[in-house]
Amino acid sequence: MIASCTSFITSVAAQTTAIGLQPGETDSATSAIVRVLWLIPAIPMVGAGLIALLKQPMRKTAAGLAIGGMFCSLLLAIAAFAHVLGTWGGGAPTREIVTFNWFSLGSSSLQLGWLLDPLAAVMLVMVTFVGLLIFIYSTGYMAHDENFTRFFCFLSLFAGGMLGVIIANSILLLFMCWEIVGLTSYLLIGFWYHKPSAAAAAKKAFLTTRVGDIFFLLGIVWLFAQTGTTLFYNNGAGAIEPASLAALLGQPAALGLTAATAIGLLIFAGAAGKSGQLPLHVWLPDAMEGPTPVSALIHAATMVAAGVYLVARVYPLMSAGAQAGGSTVSLTVVAWVGALTALFGALVAVAQNDIKRILAYSTVSQLGYMMVGLAVGGVAVGMFHLITHAFFKALLFLGAGSVIHGCHDEQDVRHMGRLRHSMPFTFWTYLCGMLALSGFPLFFSGFWSKDAILGAAHSWPVSKGPFVLLIIGALLTAFYMTRQVGYVFFGTWRGHGHPHESPAVMTLPLSILAVFAVALGVLGTPAWPWFASFLGGSPLAFDLHAFAEPGLLPLMGFATLLVLFGIGLGWWLYIRKPMQRPTHAPAHLHVSEHGDEDRDEEGHEYGEMTDVLESASPTVWGWLAHRFYFDELYEATVLSWYAALARLARWFDSHVWGALVRLVSASFRGLGWVNRSMDSQWIDGAFDKACDELVTSGGVLAWLQAGRTSAYLRAMVVGLLILVALALVVGTSTGQVRL
Amino acid sequence: MTPLVAFLIVAAMVFAIGLAIALTRRNAILVLIGIELMLNAANLNLIAFWRFGSKPEALTGMMFAIFSIAVAAAEAAVGLGLVIAYHRHSRTTDLEAMTRMKG
Amino acid sequence: MISGIGIVFLLTAALTVAGALAAALLRNLVHCALSLTVTFAGLALLYLQLDAQFAGFAQILVYIGAVAILVVFAILLTRGAGVQEYRSYGSRWFGSLVIAAAVFALLTWAVVKSLPAGGAIAQTPSVTVQSIGAALMSGYVLPLEIVAVLLTVALVGAVIVAMPENKAKAIVEKEGGQ
């Protein structure tokens, strides 16, 4: 990762001036802000690198680097936004791109780049702004944690990755930054790694998103193979520009789909993993094991929004080939998956008891809404809800963090209560967020964004199914949020010790976010559709007559009724009667995550509260509280198959490869044994034999040397005789001796 | 049978007898006696050949024999000295008991 | 003085051989030594018959007068005079006899076969003691000197070899101390 970042940055620096920049669809030369746009992700990444080198006690430096980097990115993002605002009004979204060669293979080269268009500009501002607020909040929340510097290093790296995803013009570059984001998510969920549950949750998040990423990568490769470029926009030659789209539409893939549809579905699979759509949603609630700022930033506002952003980015691909009055296969799939997710999340959120888990399932549900919005209403509808959701969800999470901090790290809502008197600031800002999420009419941003989605779903030509699911979801959303507020802020105090309000460094971001949670609604009203016009590049007009569109006002009224009914139901069940802890243990209706029992002031044994709905219908409650047993299903099927595969691999390794290795080692031992026995038997034996022979012959020869003098004499004489005889015989025969 | 042959045969006889003594008898001194006899037989050979040889005036044979006598005497002295020393050491002159040089 | 194979020669030869045989066969060591002496005497007579008077008298002086006495001394010093503790003849006496006979056979055969029959009896050489002395001092002076050294060495050596050990050590220490 670091190597590719370095190569990325150096190739940018080396080639940006050399190649010459590609002007966007504007006629003017690329502006300065676009040329330095790469700084927006680069500054936080460099900051992360610097913080990684710091020592642990240098907290102020770490926080300063992270917040400073993010602030610089924010300024640059605002400048980019202002620039795009300046070029607005041409009827089509203005888009400026900068491309560069990453590496060349012979004559062809792989090009990467970044772009600036309204969609990117809006996301940049949102991410940097919310990110900055959360960074500031974290300095207070993590003040007592000893791994303060590591936290900011990871946060900064995450911010860099996310900003890279936003401005990437190449799907490959997007994927690289996508992976950075996934990595930092893993690091941050498992931040308290010595907790086994946190480590397991991090692993689960990584692996689940990985499943989605595999399909995403397949889509990228296919797209590159078909179009020959990874760039989104490249003056008509980009992968999702009309020329390529026409080619993709003409190319048939399997199952009667076109290549465009298939690639779109594959890319959506990646988005589904990152954004927690069904069935890859299982990691998001477990991701609450991380610190609350992490939950707020990554799992509410930004990272999970990356999936939605990706779909928005490749929207031309997904919507290619749609007939008038219809939709494409990919978008239909997106809509249905999103709708099911929305309903599922809302249902499960009703039965949760952990304050963060309620919000997590709420996020799952809202992400479904965003996907439906993209599919049925287009980029503007989905993205508007994303932007508003980012603000109020971040607000809710930070508020939850404030509550947890004030209740001394208590997270079970059954052990809280009556906090509106002890933590008023948190209460009022939380209330703003809750009303925005529920979609309380008119004053809160959530109403306008959700209403836009409902309206688009209602008028979707393909089916009314998603609309029905979303309606039920909206009702449930209002209900469970009221239930949560009732548990946390109303009733009697059911916890330990005394809760206190959080410090200013934590409450200030809350108030800023609350303002935006209310005010952003202004950007999306039908009368003044600023957001949609900005994204589309069309001119803006304030037109109250837009409210007169047929079906709009009845729909808004219906939605309002739903919200009020949901809030009313929640108030009736949870707020009307102050909830308190029972003084004796309840009998059999228990779905608590941890069944602790302790005593009140008088020493009476406390039991655990049962929810009103739980006592009303325990089976349904059980299904909801166990999240429709999705985790258990996965455990029984995929995980057990995988474990079996792993066991098979281990058996193979130890018995087959191990046997091979043992065979080799045994053969070597055998060779060694042969060597040794050869050596000891033949060579040593031969040697011993030779020595024995020597000894024997010595013995034989020694017999001659028996010390008997007469024998010596005899031998001498005999020898002499023989010599003389020889001499005589030879001499006479040769004539030298004449006898 | 010339006188020379006769003398030579006598010398051979004495030599053989001296050899038989040296090889057969067990006493070390008798072995030395045998050796002396052998030397004497050789001396007789020398004198015989000197007398019946080609140039007796040169005195070669006689000289040889005289020197042989001198050397034999010296050798006898040393040998008997050895036997005496051995006898002092191990109280025996039995040749078959003298096996200290056994290999 | 020789004049063919006369009776004198035969008798003298018989005496010599008999003495040698006696030395071979007798059991008593002193008897052996004395028969050795007889043999020496016979040999001396043979030398005299061969006109080698100096050699004959040297034989008598040296062998009978010194070597035989020496042998007798040795016998007496090693208590060989009395009862023998062991047998006279070695264990392989037959093989030794055969070897001796073979040697005799070989020598005789060589002698008989080689010499021409009918060798002339040469003139009696005139050998005077003076001529022997002159030869010793002129032509054979080197052997003479060497024999002198040899005799000295043998003398000293025999003395040392036969000396009792403690006396030998004392002499060595005295020599070393000076």
Residues C4 and C82 in one domain: yes
- Rounded Cα distance between A277 and A698, Å, is 99
Best CA proximity match to A277, nearest among A333, A357, A354: A333
For residue A700, the chain B residue with the least C-alpha distance is: B103
Contacting chains of C (3 CB pairs or more, <8 Å) are: A, B
Tokens of C75: 């016998």
Q: Which residue is closest to C111 within chain A, CA to CA?
A: A739
Q: Taking CA atoms, what residue in A is nearest to C100?
A: A717
> Closest to C96 (Cβ–Cβ): which among A714, A728, A738?
A714
pLDDT in tens, chain C (178 residues): 556 678 889 999 999 999 999 999 988 889 999 999 999 999 999 999 988 889 999 999 999 999 999 999 999 888 766 666 777 777 778 888 999 999 999 999 888 877 665 556 667 777 888 888 998 898 899 999 999 999 999 999 988 888 887 776 777 777 765 5
B101 to chain C, minimum CA–CA distance in Å?
Answer: 18
Chain A residues whose beta carbon lies within 8 Å of the beta carbon of residue B26: 710
Last residue of a domain, one of C87, C103, C118: C87
Residue C73 lies in a domain: yes
* DSSP assignment letter at A182: H
Flag whether pLDDT at B1 surpasses 80.
no
On whether both C78 and C131 belong to a single domain, the answer is: no
Q: Where are the alpha helices (DSSP H) in A494-538?
A: 504-519, 530-536
Cβ–Cβ gap C95/A714 under 8 Å: yes
Write the residue in A721, A728, A737 that is nearest to C103 by C-beta: A721
Task: Specify if C41 maps to a domain.
Answer: yes
Q: Per residue in B10-58, pLDDT tens?
A: 999 999 999 999 998 888 899 999 999 999 999 999 999 898 877 777 8
| C80 and C142 co-located in one domain | no
- Pairs of CB atoms within 8 A across B/C: 243
Residue written as token pair 């203005």: A94
Pick from C93, C154, C162: which is nearest to B24 by CB?
C93
One domain for residues C12 and C69: yes
Mean pLDDT by 10 residues, chain A (739 residues): 52 41 41 82 92 84 90 92 80 77 79 87 90 88 85 92 92 92 92 90 90 92 86 78 78 77 89 87 87 83 84 87 73 91 91 88 92 89 89 89 84 81 87 88 82 87 87 91 88 78 82 85 73 74 68 82 87 77 48 44 54 76 79 81 89 88 92 89 86 87 76 88 88 71
Interface of A with B in 673-732 (CB under 8 A): 701-702, 704-710, 713-714, 717
The helix/strand/coil state of A75 is helix
CA of A715: which chain B residue's CA is closest? B23
The angle at the Cα of C82, spanning C80 to C87, to the nearest 5 degrees, equals 70
User: What pLDDT, on the 0 to 100 scale, is given for residue B38?
Assistant: 95
Q: Which residue has the tokens 């893939």?
A: A253
Residue C43: inside a domain: yes
- Predicted confidence at residue A296, as pLDDT, reads 86
* Domain of C76, in residue numbers: 1-87
Q: Contact B103/A701, CB-based, under 8 Å? A: yes
CA distance B102 to chain C (A): 17
Provide the residue type at A35 as one letter.
R
B98, part of any domain: no
From chain A, the residues in CB contact with C95 under 8 A are: 714
Checking if the pLDDT of B72 tops 70, the result is yes
Distance CA C102, CA C46 (A): 25
Taking the C-alpha atoms of residue A572 and residue A482, their distance in angstroms, rounded to an integer, is: 10
Q: Which residues of C touch B16 (CB under 8 A)?
A: 100-101, 103-104, 107
Shortest CA gap C29–chain B (Å)? 8
Strand partners, A412: A354
| Contact residues on chain C for A714, CB-CB shorter than 8 A | 92, 95-96, 99
Contact B33 C33 (CB under 8 A): yes
Q: Which among A447, A456, A459, A466 is positioned nearest to A524, based on CA atoms?
A: A447
Question: Are C72 and C152 in a shared domain?
Answer: no
Measured between beta carbons, which residues in chain B are less than 8 angstroms from residue C21? 17
A258 - beta bridge partners? A252
Residue among B26, B34, B51 minimizing CB distance to C52: B51
Contact B12 C23 (CB under 8 A): no
Residue with tokens 């890859």: A280
Q: Residue A709 and residue B31: Cβ atoms within 8 Å? A: yes
> What pLDDT, on the 0 to 100 scale, is given for residue A737?
63
Q: How far apart are CA B36 and CA A242, in angstroms?
A: 140
Q: Answer yes or no: do B3 and C71 touch at CB < 8 A.
A: no
Q: B25 φ, ψ to 5°?
A: -75, 155
Residue B72 in domain: yes
Domain membership of residue C114 (yes or no) is no
Neighbours of chain A (3+ CB pairs under 8 A): B, C
pLDDT of A41 reads 92
Closest chain B C-alpha to C178 CA, distance in angstroms: 27
Cα Rg of chain C, angstroms: 22
Provide, as residue numbers in chain A, all residues whose Cβ is less than 8 Å from the Cβ of B100: 707
- Does residue C27 sit within a domain? yes
Chain C touched by A718 (CB under 8 Å): yes
C116 occurs within a structural domain: no
Tally of structural domains, chain C: 2
Residue pair A521/A443 in contact (Cβ under 8 Å)? The answer is yes
> Is residue B10, in this structure, part of any structural domain at all?
yes
The whole-angstrom separation of Cα A337 and Cα A367 is: 11
**CATH value at residue B80:** 1.10.287.3510
CB contact under 8 A, B102 and A705: yes
Query: Which segments of chain C does DSSP mark as H helices, in order?
Result: 7-25, 29-49, 53-58, 69-77, 93-114, 129-138, 141-162, 165-177
Peptide bond into A279 cis (omega under 30): yes
Dist. CA A404–CA A293, nearest whole Å: 12
Here the contacts of A631-638 (C-beta below 8 Å, separation 24 or greater) are A631/A282, A634/A282
CA-based nearest residue in chain A for residue C109: A739
Q: Are C110 and A728 a contacting pair at CB < 8 A?
A: yes
**A714 CB near a chain C CB, below 8 Å?**
yes
Residue with tokens 């001198």: B70
C99, A721: Cβ pair inside 8 Å?
yes
DSSP state of C2: -
Whether residue C16 is found in the same domain as residue C74: yes
What pLDDT is recorded for position A401? 87
- The reply to whether residue C157 touches residue B18, judged by beta carbons under 8 angstroms, is no
Q: Do C143 and C81 share a structural domain?
A: no
SS3 readout for A601-667: CCCCECCCCCCHHHHHCHHHHHHHHCHHHHHHHHHHHHHHHHHHHHHHHHHHHHHHHHHHHHHHHHH
Could B102 and A701 be called an inter-chain contact, meaning their C-beta atoms sit closer than 8 Å?
no
A659-662 own/partner pairs: CB under 8 Å, 24+ apart: none
Determine the distance in angstroms separating the CA of C160 from the nearest CA of chain B, rounded to an integer. Answer: 9
Among C12, C46, C88, pick the best mutation site for testing chain B contact (most B Cβ within 10 A).
Answer: C46
What was the pLDDT predicted at C115? 67
Give the chain B residue nearest A712 (alpha carbons). Answer: B23
Number of domains in chain B: 1
Task: With respect to residue C62, please indicate whether it lies within any of the assigned structural domains.
Answer: yes
Domain with B42, as residue range(s), is 3-90
CB contacts of C96 in chain A (<8 Å) are 710, 714
Question: What pLDDT was estimated at residue B70?
Answer: 94
Assigned domain for B59 exists: yes
User: What's the distance, CA A114 to chain centroid?
Assistant: 22
Which residue, A252, A50, A38, is CA-closest to A163? A38
What CATH number has the domain bearing residue C48?
1.20.120.1200
Beta bridge partner(s), residue A354: A412
Nearest CB to C106 within list A721, A737, A738: A721
B22 touches chain A (CB under 8 A): yes
Q: How many A-B residue pairs are in contact by the CB < 8 A criterion?
A: 36
Q: How far is B52 from chain C (nearest CA, A)?
A: 6
Q: Please give the residue of chain B at the shortest CA–CA distance from A714.
A: B23
**What is the rounded CA–CA span in Å between residue C40 and residue C58?**
11
Of A403, A400, A369, A401, which Cα lies nearest the Cα of A386? A369
Residues of A in contact with C113 (CB under 8 A): 739
* Contacts of B among chains (3+ CB pairs under 8 A): A, C
Query: How close does chain B come to C92, measured CA to CA in Å?
Result: 7
Residues in C closer than 8 angstroms to B37, CB to CB, are 20, 23, 36, 39
Across the interface, do B71 and C147 touch by the CB < 8 Å criterion? yes
d(CA C27, CA C87): 9
Of C75, C87, C121, Cβ closest to residue B3: C121
Q: Quick one: pLDDT at residue A91?
A: 67
Question: In this structure, is residue C21 part of a structural domain?
Answer: yes
Residue of C nearest to A710 (CA): C90
Please indicate, yes or no, if residue B55 is contained in any of the structural domains. Answer: yes
